[in-house]
């Protein structure tokens, strides 16, 4: 954690000063010059800093822009989705979540709740396993084969409930069907007593960049209700996708 903190401090120094040498960086963060040099070298290897024309001086590099460029897209996605999610939560009276891929998890970046939803359950920021959630399976379905296999090899398919799909082939068969019809479900696969359904959110290129899900307790959000509300969930997903520039 100390190394991470120091590396972030180096980036903050360069952002504030415009450029700085090894000795200046070392003095400001209170480390030996060799330590400062190693920090700068590691950041330079990731294209986050670079040496400028003035010998020995470092400045922020284009890798910073690459990282920052992802922020407006994420913010825009949440901004465009929020009013539609709010309306859907009121209509369904259930919890609506917006999820994206983060490493080998699905992470919920926004949520809307109906009055019947469990008030204490906040999914925003929660990392959930891709193989055991409707959003996760939706996101897996639209990945490249290489990315999907890499994630599943890394994460595995641990059993969370009796309904969790732990067979790779069974999951792949489900994903093929999800890819075909653009709709994913999970029946008590993450938690006993919790069902969910998800639809894709596409960007202007048609690529699936997120999944929107509706979830609720099994006694209320059962298979019949999921089927009854499927068309409205699909419509809401398409509306968000259109707001993101998708014309399909």
Condensed to tens digits (0 to 9), the pLDDT of residues 12-23 reads 888 888 888 888
**How do residues 21-49 score in pLDDT, each as one tens digit?**
888 988 988 888 888 889 888 888 888 88
Residue 140 has pLDDT above 90, yes or no: yes
Mean pLDDT of 80-101: 93
Mean pLDDT of 75-98: 91
- Give pLDDT, residue 53: 65
- Give pLDDT, residue 78: 87
**How do residues 105-122 score in pLDDT, each as one tens digit?**
898 888 988 776 554 456
Q: How far apart are the first and last CA of the chain?
A: 46
- Give pLDDT, residue 75: 59
- Give pLDDT, residue 127: 83
Candidates 211, 191, 220, 60; CA nearest to 134 is: 211
- Give pLDDT, residue 199: 98
Residue-by-residue DSSP string for the chain: -HHHHHHHHHHHHHHHHS-EEHHHHHHHHT--HHHHHHHHHHHHHTTSEEE-SSTTEEEE-HHHHHHHTHHHHHHHHHHHHHHHHHHHHHHHTSEEEEEEEETTEEEEEEEEE-TTS-TT---TT-EEEGGGSHHHHHHHHTS-HHHHHHHHHHH-----STT----HHHHHHHHHHHHHHS-EEEESSSSTTEEEEEEEEE-TTS-EEEEEEEEEETTTS-HHHHHHHHHHHHHHHHHHHHHTT---
- Mean per-residue pLDDT of the chain: 88
- Give pLDDT, residue 119: 47
Q: Where are the beta strands (DSSP E) in 8-157?
A: 20-21, 49-51, 57-60, 95-102, 105-113, 127-129
1 — pLDDT class (breaks 50, 70, 90): low
Q: How many percent of the chain have pLDDT more than 90?
A: 52
């Amino acid at each position: 954690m100390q190394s991470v903190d120091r590396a972030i401090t180096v980036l903050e120094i360069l952002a504030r000063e415009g450029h700085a040498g090894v000795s200046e960086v070392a003095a400001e963060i209170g480390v030996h010059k060799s330590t400062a040099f190693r920090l700068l070298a590691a950041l330079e290897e990731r294209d986050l800093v670079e040496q400028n024309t003035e010998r020995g001086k470092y400045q922020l590099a284009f890798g910073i822009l690459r990282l920052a460029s992802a922020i407006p897209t994420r913010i825009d996605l949440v901004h465009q989705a929020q009013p539609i999610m709010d309306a859907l939560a009121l209509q369904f009276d259930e919890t609506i979540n917006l999820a994206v891929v983060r490493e080998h998890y699905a992470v919920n970046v926004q949520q809307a709740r109906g009055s019947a939803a469990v008030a204490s359950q906040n999914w925003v920021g929660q990392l959930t396993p891709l193989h055991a959630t409707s959003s996760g399976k939706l996101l897996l379905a639209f990945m490249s084969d290489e990315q999907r296999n890499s994630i599943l090899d890394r994460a595995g398919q641990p059993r969370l409930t009796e309904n969790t799909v732990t067979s790779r082939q069974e999951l792949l068969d489900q994903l093929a069907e999800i890819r075909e019809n653009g709709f994913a479900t999970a029946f008590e696969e993450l938690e006993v007593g919790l069902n969910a359904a998800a639809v894709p959110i596409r960007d202007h290129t048609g690529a699936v960049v997120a999944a929107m899900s509706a979830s609720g307790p099994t006694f209320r959000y059962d298979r019949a209700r999921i089927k009854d509300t499927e068309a409205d969930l699909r419509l809401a997903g398409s509306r968000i996708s259109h707001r993101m520039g998708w014309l399909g």
